[in-house]
A and B are shown apart, each in its own frame.
Chain A
Amino acid sequence: MTEEHAEHILSYGKLTTVWVALLVLTAATIMVTRVELGVWKVWAALAIASVKSGLVIAFFMHMKYEPRLFRIILFVALFTLASFIGGTFFDVLYR
Protein backbone atom coordinates (compact mmCIF):
# COMPACT_ATOMS: atom_id res chain seq x y z
CA MET A 1 0.00 0.00 0.00
CA THR A 2 2.65 2.53 1.00
CA GLU A 3 4.64 2.01 -2.20
CA GLU A 4 1.63 3.04 -4.27
CA HIS A 5 1.33 6.35 -2.44
CA ALA A 6 4.79 7.80 -2.74
CA GLU A 7 5.47 10.46 -0.08
CA HIS A 8 4.20 13.80 -1.26
CA ILE A 9 5.97 16.70 0.42
CA LEU A 10 4.37 20.14 0.15
CA SER A 11 6.82 22.98 -0.46
CA TYR A 12 7.14 25.86 2.05
CA GLY A 13 6.14 28.24 -0.76
CA LYS A 14 2.89 26.44 -1.48
CA LEU A 15 1.99 26.33 2.22
CA THR A 16 2.73 30.06 2.56
CA THR A 17 0.50 30.79 -0.45
CA VAL A 18 -2.36 28.91 1.24
CA TRP A 19 -1.75 30.90 4.46
CA VAL A 20 -1.90 34.23 2.54
CA ALA A 21 -5.16 33.10 0.88
CA LEU A 22 -6.59 32.26 4.33
CA LEU A 23 -5.64 35.72 5.68
CA VAL A 24 -7.18 37.45 2.64
CA LEU A 25 -10.40 35.43 3.10
CA THR A 26 -10.45 36.37 6.81
CA ALA A 27 -10.20 40.06 5.88
CA ALA A 28 -12.94 39.53 3.27
CA THR A 29 -15.30 37.92 5.75
CA ILE A 30 -14.84 40.80 8.24
CA MET A 31 -15.50 43.39 5.50
CA VAL A 32 -18.52 41.55 4.10
CA THR A 33 -20.17 41.33 7.53
CA ARG A 34 -19.56 45.03 8.35
CA VAL A 35 -21.77 46.00 5.37
CA GLU A 36 -25.54 45.87 5.90
CA LEU A 37 -26.54 42.89 3.78
CA GLY A 38 -29.26 41.50 6.04
CA VAL A 39 -29.54 37.73 6.03
CA TRP A 40 -27.09 37.48 3.13
CA LYS A 41 -24.16 38.31 5.37
CA VAL A 42 -24.78 35.05 7.26
CA TRP A 43 -24.60 33.06 4.03
CA ALA A 44 -21.60 35.04 2.81
CA ALA A 45 -19.72 34.48 6.11
CA LEU A 46 -20.53 30.75 6.12
CA ALA A 47 -19.55 30.40 2.45
CA ILE A 48 -16.18 32.03 3.13
CA ALA A 49 -15.69 29.86 6.24
CA SER A 50 -16.37 26.77 4.09
CA VAL A 51 -13.83 27.85 1.49
CA LYS A 52 -11.27 28.45 4.27
CA SER A 53 -11.96 24.99 5.73
CA GLY A 54 -11.59 23.48 2.27
CA LEU A 55 -8.14 25.07 1.92
CA VAL A 56 -7.03 23.90 5.38
CA ILE A 57 -8.27 20.34 4.77
CA ALA A 58 -6.90 20.06 1.22
CA PHE A 59 -3.43 21.50 1.78
CA PHE A 60 -2.51 21.88 5.48
CA MET A 61 -4.17 18.53 6.27
CA HIS A 62 -2.87 17.01 3.07
CA MET A 63 -6.26 15.60 2.01
CA LYS A 64 -5.66 16.45 -1.65
CA TYR A 65 -2.79 13.93 -1.69
CA GLU A 66 -4.32 11.16 0.42
CA PRO A 67 -5.87 7.95 -0.97
CA ARG A 68 -9.49 8.16 -2.17
CA LEU A 69 -10.75 6.22 0.89
CA PHE A 70 -9.92 9.27 3.09
CA ARG A 71 -12.05 11.56 0.93
CA ILE A 72 -14.93 9.07 0.90
CA ILE A 73 -15.09 8.92 4.70
CA LEU A 74 -14.71 12.73 4.85
CA PHE A 75 -17.81 13.10 2.67
CA VAL A 76 -19.70 10.50 4.72
CA ALA A 77 -18.91 12.51 7.89
CA LEU A 78 -19.90 15.83 6.29
CA PHE A 79 -23.10 14.29 4.86
CA THR A 80 -23.98 12.94 8.31
CA LEU A 81 -23.46 16.36 9.90
CA ALA A 82 -25.45 18.07 7.12
CA SER A 83 -28.33 15.59 7.64
CA PHE A 84 -28.35 16.35 11.38
CA ILE A 85 -28.48 20.09 10.69
CA GLY A 86 -31.10 19.70 7.93
CA GLY A 87 -33.28 17.41 10.07
CA THR A 88 -33.04 19.76 13.05
CA PHE A 89 -34.11 22.75 10.97
CA PHE A 90 -37.00 20.86 9.41
CA ASP A 91 -38.25 20.39 12.96
CA VAL A 92 -37.45 23.91 14.22
CA LEU A 93 -38.97 25.74 11.25
CA TYR A 94 -42.13 23.67 10.60
CA ARG A 95 -43.17 22.62 14.08
Chain B
Amino acid sequence: MSHLEKDSFGAKLGMWLFLFTEMLLFGGVFILYSVYLTRYPKEFGLGGHQLDLVYGATNTVVLLTSSLFAAMSVTAIKSGAKKLTLGLLSGTVGCAFIFLGIKYLEWSAKFHHGIYPNSPKLIAGPPGESIFFGLYYLTTGLHGIHVIVGAVLMTWTAVMVQKERLNANDNVTLENVTLYWHLVDLVWIFIFPLYYLIL
Protein backbone atom coordinates (compact mmCIF):
# COMPACT_ATOMS: atom_id res chain seq x y z
CA MET B 1 0.00 0.00 0.00
CA SER B 2 1.40 3.34 -0.96
CA HIS B 3 1.99 5.83 1.79
CA LEU B 4 -0.05 8.96 1.20
CA GLU B 5 1.02 12.03 3.15
CA LYS B 6 -1.84 14.50 3.43
CA ASP B 7 -0.98 18.18 3.12
CA SER B 8 -3.25 19.61 5.80
CA PHE B 9 -1.61 23.05 5.56
CA GLY B 10 -2.48 23.26 1.87
CA ALA B 11 -5.98 21.88 2.46
CA LYS B 12 -6.76 24.53 5.07
CA LEU B 13 -5.22 27.31 2.98
CA GLY B 14 -7.41 26.27 0.06
CA MET B 15 -10.51 26.27 2.29
CA TRP B 16 -9.71 29.77 3.55
CA LEU B 17 -9.27 31.07 0.00
CA PHE B 18 -12.71 29.64 -0.84
CA LEU B 19 -14.19 31.25 2.27
CA PHE B 20 -12.85 34.64 1.11
CA THR B 21 -14.80 34.32 -2.13
CA GLU B 22 -17.86 33.55 0.00
CA MET B 23 -17.23 36.70 2.08
CA LEU B 24 -17.07 38.75 -1.12
CA LEU B 25 -20.33 37.14 -2.35
CA PHE B 26 -22.24 38.08 0.79
CA GLY B 27 -20.35 41.39 0.91
CA GLY B 28 -21.88 42.24 -2.48
CA VAL B 29 -25.38 41.59 -1.14
CA PHE B 30 -24.67 43.77 1.90
CA ILE B 31 -23.45 46.59 -0.37
CA LEU B 32 -26.77 46.40 -2.28
CA TYR B 33 -28.60 46.53 1.05
CA SER B 34 -26.75 49.62 2.26
CA VAL B 35 -27.08 51.50 -1.04
CA TYR B 36 -30.87 50.93 -1.12
CA LEU B 37 -31.11 51.74 2.58
CA THR B 38 -29.67 55.22 1.89
CA ARG B 39 -32.14 55.62 -1.00
CA TYR B 40 -35.28 54.33 0.77
CA PRO B 41 -34.69 54.81 4.54
CA LYS B 42 -38.42 55.17 5.36
CA GLU B 43 -39.58 52.05 3.48
CA PHE B 44 -36.68 49.99 4.86
CA GLY B 45 -37.67 51.16 8.36
CA LEU B 46 -41.27 50.06 7.81
CA GLY B 47 -40.13 46.74 6.30
CA GLY B 48 -37.67 46.01 9.10
CA HIS B 49 -40.36 46.54 11.75
CA GLN B 50 -42.44 43.78 10.14
CA LEU B 51 -39.71 41.20 10.80
CA ASP B 52 -40.05 39.15 13.98
CA LEU B 53 -37.25 39.96 16.43
CA VAL B 54 -37.98 36.85 18.53
CA TYR B 55 -37.45 34.54 15.52
CA GLY B 56 -34.27 36.42 14.56
CA ALA B 57 -32.79 36.41 18.06
CA THR B 58 -33.63 32.73 18.63
CA ASN B 59 -31.94 31.79 15.37
CA THR B 60 -28.87 33.81 16.37
CA VAL B 61 -28.57 31.81 19.60
CA VAL B 62 -29.17 28.53 17.71
CA LEU B 63 -26.41 29.31 15.18
CA LEU B 64 -23.90 30.45 17.83
CA THR B 65 -24.55 27.22 19.73
CA SER B 66 -24.12 25.14 16.57
CA SER B 67 -20.80 26.89 16.00
CA LEU B 68 -19.72 26.00 19.53
CA PHE B 69 -20.57 22.32 18.90
CA ALA B 70 -18.67 22.41 15.59
CA ALA B 71 -15.57 23.98 17.18
CA MET B 72 -15.74 21.43 20.03
CA SER B 73 -15.95 18.55 17.53
CA VAL B 74 -12.47 19.53 16.25
CA THR B 75 -11.12 19.35 19.81
CA ALA B 76 -12.90 16.02 20.32
CA ILE B 77 -11.56 14.31 17.19
CA LYS B 78 -8.01 15.51 17.90
CA SER B 79 -8.21 14.05 21.40
CA GLY B 80 -9.38 10.76 19.89
CA ALA B 81 -12.88 10.90 21.40
CA LYS B 82 -14.88 9.33 18.57
CA LYS B 83 -18.25 9.09 20.35
CA LEU B 84 -18.06 12.69 21.55
CA THR B 85 -17.11 13.87 18.05
CA LEU B 86 -20.18 12.13 16.63
CA GLY B 87 -22.39 13.58 19.37
CA LEU B 88 -21.14 17.11 18.74
CA LEU B 89 -21.56 16.79 14.98
CA SER B 90 -25.14 15.55 15.51
CA GLY B 91 -25.69 18.56 17.77
CA THR B 92 -24.54 20.89 14.99
CA VAL B 93 -26.79 19.22 12.42
CA GLY B 94 -29.67 19.33 14.94
CA CYS B 95 -29.18 23.07 15.35
CA ALA B 96 -29.17 23.44 11.56
CA PHE B 97 -32.61 21.77 11.44
CA ILE B 98 -33.95 24.00 14.24
CA PHE B 99 -32.63 27.05 12.37
CA LEU B 100 -34.30 25.97 9.12
CA GLY B 101 -37.54 25.15 10.98
CA ILE B 102 -37.68 28.64 12.48
CA LYS B 103 -36.83 30.14 9.09
CA TYR B 104 -39.73 28.15 7.58
CA LEU B 105 -42.16 29.51 10.20
CA GLU B 106 -40.85 33.02 9.58
CA TRP B 107 -41.15 32.85 5.80
CA SER B 108 -44.58 31.20 5.83
CA ALA B 109 -45.91 33.90 8.18
CA LYS B 110 -44.71 36.52 5.67
CA PHE B 111 -46.19 34.58 2.72
CA HIS B 112 -49.47 34.37 4.64
CA HIS B 113 -49.53 38.18 4.82
CA GLY B 114 -49.05 38.39 1.06
CA ILE B 115 -45.38 39.37 1.32
CA TYR B 116 -43.31 37.37 -1.16
CA PRO B 117 -41.36 38.26 -4.33
CA ASN B 118 -43.71 39.65 -7.00
CA SER B 119 -46.79 39.39 -4.74
CA PRO B 120 -49.71 41.69 -5.71
CA LYS B 121 -49.37 43.47 -2.35
CA LEU B 122 -45.69 44.33 -2.92
CA ILE B 123 -46.27 45.35 -6.56
CA ALA B 124 -49.04 47.73 -5.46
CA GLY B 125 -46.91 49.18 -2.61
CA PRO B 126 -44.04 51.67 -2.76
CA PRO B 127 -40.91 50.46 -4.67
CA GLY B 128 -38.70 50.77 -1.56
CA GLU B 129 -40.81 48.20 0.26
CA SER B 130 -40.58 45.56 -2.47
CA ILE B 131 -36.82 46.19 -2.72
CA PHE B 132 -36.49 45.66 1.03
CA PHE B 133 -38.36 42.35 0.97
CA GLY B 134 -36.64 41.30 -2.26
CA LEU B 135 -33.26 41.76 -0.56
CA TYR B 136 -34.56 40.07 2.59
CA TYR B 137 -35.55 36.94 0.65
CA LEU B 138 -32.35 37.02 -1.44
CA THR B 139 -30.04 37.36 1.58
CA THR B 140 -31.77 34.95 3.95
CA GLY B 141 -32.43 32.52 1.07
CA LEU B 142 -28.77 32.49 0.00
CA HIS B 143 -27.82 32.06 3.64
CA GLY B 144 -30.40 29.26 4.03
CA ILE B 145 -28.88 27.40 1.06
CA HIS B 146 -25.52 27.61 2.83
CA VAL B 147 -27.10 26.19 5.99
CA ILE B 148 -28.47 23.22 4.01
CA VAL B 149 -25.11 22.62 2.27
CA GLY B 150 -23.33 22.87 5.64
CA ALA B 151 -25.72 20.37 7.24
CA VAL B 152 -25.22 17.89 4.37
CA LEU B 153 -21.41 18.23 4.59
CA MET B 154 -21.54 17.84 8.36
CA THR B 155 -23.61 14.63 8.05
CA TRP B 156 -21.17 13.26 5.45
CA THR B 157 -18.26 14.09 7.79
CA ALA B 158 -20.00 12.28 10.66
CA VAL B 159 -20.28 9.15 8.47
CA MET B 160 -16.53 9.39 7.75
CA VAL B 161 -15.83 9.67 11.49
CA GLN B 162 -18.09 6.68 12.17
CA LYS B 163 -16.14 4.63 9.58
CA GLU B 164 -12.89 5.94 11.14
CA ARG B 165 -11.79 7.36 7.79
CA LEU B 166 -11.37 10.55 9.83
CA ASN B 167 -9.55 10.13 13.12
CA ALA B 168 -7.14 11.76 15.58
CA ASN B 169 -4.28 11.68 13.05
CA ASP B 170 -6.16 12.61 9.90
CA ASN B 171 -8.99 15.10 10.39
CA VAL B 172 -8.42 18.06 8.10
CA THR B 173 -11.70 17.32 6.26
CA LEU B 174 -13.61 17.74 9.50
CA GLU B 175 -11.72 20.96 10.23
CA ASN B 176 -12.56 22.36 6.79
CA VAL B 177 -16.25 21.46 7.07
CA THR B 178 -16.42 23.20 10.47
CA LEU B 179 -14.68 26.26 8.94
CA TYR B 180 -17.49 26.37 6.35
CA TRP B 181 -20.06 26.10 9.13
CA HIS B 182 -18.49 28.99 11.05
CA LEU B 183 -18.71 31.12 7.89
CA VAL B 184 -22.47 30.48 7.84
CA ASP B 185 -22.55 31.73 11.43
CA LEU B 186 -20.39 34.79 10.54
CA VAL B 187 -22.79 35.83 7.77
CA TRP B 188 -25.78 35.57 10.12
CA ILE B 189 -23.92 37.74 12.68
CA PHE B 190 -24.29 40.58 10.13
CA ILE B 191 -27.75 39.67 8.73
CA PHE B 192 -29.29 39.80 12.22
CA PRO B 193 -28.45 43.43 13.11
CA LEU B 194 -28.89 44.73 9.54
CA TYR B 195 -32.38 43.32 8.98
CA TYR B 196 -33.84 42.84 12.45
CA LEU B 197 -32.24 45.48 14.68
CA ILE B 198 -31.08 48.75 13.15
CA LEU B 199 -34.16 49.64 11.09
A residues lining the B interface (CB < 8 Å): 1-2, 5, 7, 9-12, 15-16, 18-19, 22-23, 26, 29-30, 33, 41-42, 45-46, 48-49, 52-53, 56-57, 59-62, 66-67, 69-70, 73-74, 77-78, 80-81, 84-85, 88-89, 92-93
Contacts and interface: CB of A to CB of B under 8 A. Distances in A.
Interface in B36-95: 38-39, 53, 57, 60-61, 64-65, 67-68, 70-72, 74-75, 78-79
22 contacts: A5-B9, A9-B79, A15-B72, A19-B67, A23-B64, A29-B192, A29-B193, A29-B197, A33-B198, A41-B197, A52-B189, A56-B182, A57-B182, A60-B68, A60-B71, A62-B175, A77-B23, A77-B24, A80-B24, A84-B28, A85-B34, A92-B35
A93 B39 CA distance: 10
A69 B13 contact: yes
Majority SS of interface residues in chain A?
Answer: helix
B179 interface: yes
A66 B197 contact: no
A73 B16 contact: yes
A12 B129 CA distance: 45
Interface of B: 8-9, 12-13, 16-17, 20, 23-24, 27-28, 30-31, 34-35, 38-39, 53, 57, 60-61, 64-65, 67-68, 70-72, 74-75, 78-79, 175, 178-179, 182, 185-186, 189-190, 192-194, 197-198
